[in-house]
């Protein structure tokens, strides 16, 4: 098992508009990308569990040409609403770091 943080070159989050948060995982080479993509660990079900949302609110889109996987989830609150914690959505990626990818 290897943690995702040790396999990815980029692990980031950002708003995709005021209502959605998008999480990008990018990899240095094709082999690592395929290993993660095909691991069965990056699924709507797993992401939903990590972020406390329902499966059907999660989109997982592998993007072969850039060795990247994009995940989109709803924000807890619209950006900048009273009670929002992260207006840009730039620090919502941490739960991804510890995902264990089988060898």
Instruction: List contacts with other proteins (CB under 8 A).
Output: 14-20, 22, 24, 26, 50-52, 57, 59, 61, 63, 65-68, 70, 72, 74, 76, 78-88, 91-92, 94-95
Q: Residue 71 or 103: which CB sits closer to other proteins?
A: 71
Counting beta carbons within 10 angstroms of the beta carbon of residue 35, is it exposed (0 to 12), middle (13 to 18) or buried (19 or more)?
middle
Using alpha carbons, list the distances in angstroms from residue 103 to 18, 20, 58, 97: 37, 32, 25, 16
Q: Residue 9 or 103: which CB sits closer to other proteins?
A: 9
Q: Residue 32 or 79: which CB sits closer to other proteins?
A: 79
Least Å distance, CB 44 to other proteins, is: 14
HSE (side-chain half, CA atoms, 13 Å) at 37: 19
């Amino acid at each position: 098992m290897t943690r995702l943080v040790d396999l990815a070159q980029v692990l980031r989050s950002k708003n995709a508009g005021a209502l959605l948060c998008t999480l990008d995982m990018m990899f240095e080479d094709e082999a690592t990308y395929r290993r993660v993509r095909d691991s069965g660990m990056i699924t709507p079900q797993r992401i939903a569990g990590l972020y406390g949302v329902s499966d059907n609110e999660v989109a997982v889109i592998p993007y072969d040409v850039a060795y990247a996987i994009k995940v989109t989830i709803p924000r807890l609150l619209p950006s900048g609403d009273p009670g929002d914690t992260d207006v840009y959505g730039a620090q919502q990626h941490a739960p991804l770091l510890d995902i264990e990818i089988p060898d």
